[in-house]
Structure 1
Amino acid sequence: MPILNEIHFVKNILKKEFSIKKKNKICIAVSGGLDSMVLLHLFIKISNILSLSIEIAHCNFSLRKSESDQDEQFIKHLCYKKDILCHIKKFNILEYSKKNKLSIQMSARKLRYKWFDKLIQEKYYDYLALGHHLNDSIETFFINLIRGTGIKGLLGIPKKNKKIIRPLYSFTKEEIFNYAKKNKIIFRYDSSNQDQKYLRNKIRFIISSFSPSIYYYFYKGFKKSINFLYQENYLIEQNILKIKKQITSEQREYPFIWKINCNKVQQLSSIYLFKLFFQYGFSIKNIKQLCYAQTGKQLISNQYRIIKNRKELILIENEYFNLCKNKIYIITNFNVSNILLPIKIQFNIYREKIINIEKMITTNNILFIDFDKIELPLKLRTWRKGDIFYPLNMTGKKKLSKYYKDNKLSLLDKEKTWLLINGNNNIILVGNRLDNRFKITLKTQKILGIIL
C-alpha cells in the first residue's frame, strides 16, 4: 500500500498520475469531512512547492438541517483563516428530487457535478479535486455489481474525468484517517454516514467488520483486480471508438450533435448498441425501432433526444433543442444589438431610386425589403403549427410545415431556423428566404436592407 505523505502525494500522485504543473489553478471540493479536509491540507502544504492557486467549493444540500449549516460555517471560517477564496452553493434538493423523480443521492450527485462543471468553465480551473478514495471505489464496485453492470461499472470511481480529479483514489480510509491524526487535522462528522437505509453504508459496515488480516489482503487484491479491469476496459473502449467512427457522418462538441448512419447502426450487435447509446439514456430496443421509424420520430431521455431524419439518427442535448423552441426575441429599432439575439442581423436603410430591381433582389449579401411595409416591433422566433408565408418567386401561400418538408429539413433544422416576423405578425423571412409580400417593386420609395 502507498504511504500517504506530502512527498509521495506530489511526486507519484499529482505530477505522475495527473500531470499537475506549477502555477495550475486548482479548486478543492470540501465538505468539511475527513477525506476532503485531508485533501485540502495536502494541497495547502504543497501549494508553495508547485506555486498552485487554490480555491474551495462547498455544497450545502440542507439535508441535515443545522448540521449542514454548521458545515458551511466551518468551511467559511477555515477559508477566512487560510485566506482562501471560497465558493458556496445551496441547493433545494428535495424539490429537485421530486420534480425529476430521482433519489436524494442521485439528485445530489447531478446537482453537485453540474455546479462543478459550471465553476470549471467560469473560473478557468485547470482541475477540480475531489476527496474520493479506495474505499469509495470498492463500495461503488459492489453497488454496481448488486444492481447489475458491465466492466465499466466494476471499475468503481474513476481517478480522472476530464478536469475532475481524485488524487486520493489509491489510499484507504484508514491511511487517510492516520494522516489526519498525525497532522492534527480538524474535520466534521457526517451523521448520515451511519444511516443503514443507504446501500453504500450497509456495504461499508460489512467491509469494516473484516479481520485485520483479511482486510489487508482484500484491499491489496482489489487494487490488482481494478488495474486488470482498467486494461481490459481500455481495449474495449478502443474498439467502441472504432465502431463509432464507422457509423458517424458528423459530430461536434458544442453545441453537441451526433449524426449517425441508420443502415450501419442496423448492422450492429446488441452489445455495441448498448455501449454506444446507454450513456445517453436510450435502450437497445428503442434504438432499433427508431432506425425503421418514419422521419420526424424521436426518443427523449432526461438530457438527450435522438431524432430520425431519413437515413440518419441525430442525437442532441435537450438543452440545445429547447433553447430555440418557443423563444421570442423582440427588435424595437433598426440600430439592433446582436449581443442578445440568436443570429447576427444588421439593418441598413436606402433611399436611392430603384434602377435595376432584378439586380437588387439577387444580391447575395443583402436581402432588400420594402421599408414602408415594415411595422415595429419585429420579432425573431422559430416556427409554430399553422405558420404560413408567401415564398419569393412562388405563386400563392404555403404552410411552413410543407415548405420545410419540401426542402427536406430535419426536425432539428426546423427548430433552429429563425423567422423574422413583422409587427402585424406576417412572416418577413424564413431563414434567408424572403416573403413575397415584402419584396421591393418599382413603387418602392424606401428600402430596408437586411444582412444576415
Structure 2
Amino acid sequence: MLNLLVEIVMEKISYNHFFIDKIKKYFFLNSLNKMKKKVCVAVSGGLDSMVLINLLLDIPEIESEVAHCNFSLRNQESNEDEFFIRNFCDKQNIICHVKKFDTLNFSKKYKLSIQMAARKLRYDWFSKLLKKNSYEYMVLGHHFDDSIETFFINAFRGTGIKGLLGIPEKNKKFIRPLSNFNKKEILHYAKIKNIKWRLDRSNQNIKYLRNKIRSVLSRFYSFSFQNGLKRTINHLYDENFLIENKIEEVRKEITIEKKNDPFFWKIECKKIKKLNPLSFYLFKLFSPYGFNDIHSMKHLIDAQSGKQLISKIYRIIKSRNHWLLVSHKFLLENLNKIYIIQNLKIVKKMFLPVNIKFFLNPKKESKQNMCLIDFDKIQFPLLLRTWRTGDFFYPLKMKGKKKLSKYYKEKKFSLLKKEHTWLLINGNGSIILILGNRLDDRFKVTENTKKILGITKI
C-alpha cells in the first residue's frame, strides 16, 4: 500500500514538472533568468484554461492576472461561470478582470456569426488590456487538439498552407503554452492535481462546425493519428516559412516605394506581370490587404490610369505603369478638411497640412523660389483645401477659365495626386493658387501692384 502511495505521489511530481518545464520555455525562463514576467491569462472556467492558470500560479517567476469574458449567451450558466472565476481569483488573491458582452446584438449589428462576434469582442478587449496594463503576454488555453480541429475546419472551407497550420503557438503578444499538449494529457493533469472546472454544454452542440468536426475526429483519435498530424503540421510550417521568405523577396523586387503611416505602396506593373504562377503571387501579396479577386487584379495590370480596386480598408490605383496601394486614410484624410488663414503677419508659417511660409513684400533676392501674388486682391479669411467637383480657375498666362478636373487631366495628375494637391482659396471663393503648381491669372503681380505676397514651401 505504501509503495502504491509513493508511486502516486511520484507520478504527480513528475507530471507536474513535465508540464511546468515545457511551459517555462514559452516564457524564456531558466535558472539564470529570475525576472518576474507579468501576464494576463484568459480564463473561461473550462478545463483547458483552469489547468493553464493553475500551472502558471505554480511558477514563481510569473505574475498572473485573469481576464474573463461573459458573453451572455447561456443565461444563468454564463453568470455562474463568472462567479466561479471571481471566487477562484479571490481565493488565489489575484486580480480578475471581467467584461460582460451583449454578443447576440453585436453579431446582428455587424452581421457576424455568434462565434465570430464572440471572437472579435474577446480579442479586441484582450488587446486593450495588454496596452492598458503593460502585460508581457496575453496567455490563452488553446491546445494541440484545437489546432487539429482548425486544420480540418480550414481544409473543408478551402485554404492554402497557412490555413492548415492550426492555431499559432505565439502571435505577437498572444501566447499559447498548452499548444503541444493534447486534451487527454490536460485532463490527466487536472485529475492528478484535483483541479476543478466548469462544463460548457454549448461545446456539445453540433450546429457549430468545430463541435461537429470534434465529434467526428473523436472516433479516429489515437497516438499514431495525432503524431501523424503533428508531423504534417510541422512540415507545413517549414514549407510555409520557405514560401513566406520567397514572397518577401518578390515584394522587395516589385516595390518602388513603401511607407506605413499612412500606408502607401508603389509597385511596378511590369514586374508583377512577369511573376509565375501569377495567380499565386497576386493572392499571397495582396490578400492581406483584402484583395482576393484574382481576375480583377490581373485585368488591372494592363488597365488605363485611374482604374482602381477597392477593399474594406485599401485601394489599388492604376497610375501609368504603376500600382499605388494605399489606405483609405491616405486618400481620405484631406477630403472635406478646410484650414482657415484669418490674417497674415509679416512672416507667417503654416505647418498643416502643407509646410508653407508667407512673406509680405519679400526682398528681391528671395523672390526666385516664390509664388508672387498681388496682396490687394486678397480677401481674408483665406482657405486651404483640396479640389471639389465644379472647381475652376484662370490659369496664369492663359485666356479664359478652365475646370480644375480638366486641368488635372491635361497635366496627367493621378487620382492620388489630385486628392493630395492643396488649393489656396480667396475669401470670395476664387482659387488663388494650386500649391506647387499654378497661379490663377487674376492674382498675378502687375506694374500696378503695390503690395506683394510671397509664398514658398518650407
Q: Give the TM-score normalised by the residue count of structure 2.
A: 0.76
Partner residue, 2:418: 414
Matched to 2:216, the amino acid is I
Contact map agreement 1:368 1:439 (CA 8 A) in 2: yes
> By how many angstroms is 1:257 displaced?
2.7
Matched to 1:256, the amino acid is F
Matched, 1:300 2:330: no
Matched to 1:300, the amino acid is I
Partner residue, 1:204: 214
Partner residue, 2:3: none
> By how many angstroms is 1:333 displaced?
8.2
Matched, 1:140 2:150: yes
> By how many angstroms is 1:218 displaced?
1.9
Contact map agreement 2:140 2:175 (CA 8 A) in 1: yes
Find 1:221's aligned residue among 225, 228, 231.
228
Equivalent-residue separation in structure 1 for 2:135 and 2:65 (angstroms)? 9
Distance of aligned partners of 1:446 and 1:292 in 2 relative to their CA distance in 1, 3 Å threshold: closer
Equivalent-residue separation in structure 2 for 1:433 and 1:73 (angstroms)? 67
Partner residue, 1:375: 380
Find 1:273's aligned residue among 259, 268, 282.
282
Contact map agreement 2:367 2:454 (CA 8 A) in 1: no
Equivalent-residue separation in structure 2 for 1:357 and 1:4 (angstroms)? 84
Find 2:39's aligned residue among 19, 22, 26.
26
What 5-or-longer segments of structure 1 have no aligned partner?
Answer: 336-340
Partner residue, 1:154: 164
Secondary structure in 2 aligned to 1:257?
A: strand
Matched to 2:390, the amino acid is G
Matched, 1:174 2:184: yes
Equivalent-residue separation in structure 1 for 2:137 and 2:230 (angstroms)? 25
Equivalent-residue separation in structure 1 for 2:304 and 2:267 (angstroms)? 15
Find 2:138's aligned residue among 112, 124, 128.
128
> By how many angstroms is 1:203 displaced?
0.9
The count of residues paired between Structure 1 and Structure 2 equals 432
Partner residue, 2:49: 36
Partner residue, 1:254: 261
Matched to 1:29, the amino acid is A
Equivalent-residue separation in structure 2 for 1:89 and 1:431 (angstroms)? 51
Distance of aligned partners of 1:109 and 1:310 in 2 relative to their CA distance in 1, 3 Å threshold: farther
Q: Give the TM-score normalised by the residue count of structure 1.
A: 0.77
The 5 Å alignment of 1:268-347 reads 268=275, 269=277, 270-281=279-290, 282-327=292-337, 343=353
Equivalent-residue separation in structure 2 for 1:324 and 1:91 (angstroms)? 36
Question: Which stretch of structure 1 is more off in the superposition, 273-282 or 89-98?
Answer: 89-98
Partner residue, 1:7: 20
Equivalent-residue separation in structure 2 for 1:21 and 1:369 (angstroms)? 72
Contact map agreement 2:23 2:177 (CA 8 A) in 1: no
Question: Which stretch of structure 1 is more off in the superposition, 194-203 or 389-398?
Answer: 389-398
RMSD across aligned positions (CA): 4.1
Can you list the C-alpha shifts for 1:206-231, whole angstroms capped at 9, x where unaligned?
22344xxx522222222122112211
Distance of aligned partners of 1:236 and 1:438 in 2 relative to their CA distance in 1, 3 Å threshold: same
Partner residue, 2:199: 189
Q: Percent identity?
A: 52
Contact map agreement 1:369 1:449 (CA 8 A) in 2: no
What 5-or-longer segments of structure 2 have no aligned partner?
Answer: 1-13, 346-350
Partner residue, 1:338: none
> By how many angstroms is 1:169 displaced?
1.1
Contact map agreement 2:81 2:198 (CA 8 A) in 1: yes
> By how many angstroms is 1:374 displaced?
4.5
Equivalent-residue separation in structure 2 for 1:116 and 1:204 (angstroms)? 26
Distance of aligned partners of 1:435 and 1:49 in 2 relative to their CA distance in 1, 3 Å threshold: same
Contact map agreement 1:277 1:283 (CA 8 A) in 2: no
Secondary structure in 2 aligned to 1:306?
A: strand
Can you list the C-alpha shifts for 1:121-148, whole angstroms capped at 9, x where unaligned?
5655443332221111011111111122
Find 2:250's aligned residue among 243, 261, 268.
243
Question: Which stretch of structure 1 is more off in the superposition, 54-63 or 233-242?
Answer: 54-63
Distance of aligned partners of 1:93 and 1:322 in 2 relative to their CA distance in 1, 3 Å threshold: farther
From the CA coordinates, give the structure whose radius of gyration is larger. Answer: 2
Find 2:392's aligned residue among 388, 391, 397.
388
Find 1:399's aligned residue among 371, 396, 403.
403
Equivalent-residue separation in structure 2 for 1:322 and 1:355 (angstroms)? 35
Contact map agreement 2:374 2:451 (CA 8 A) in 1: no
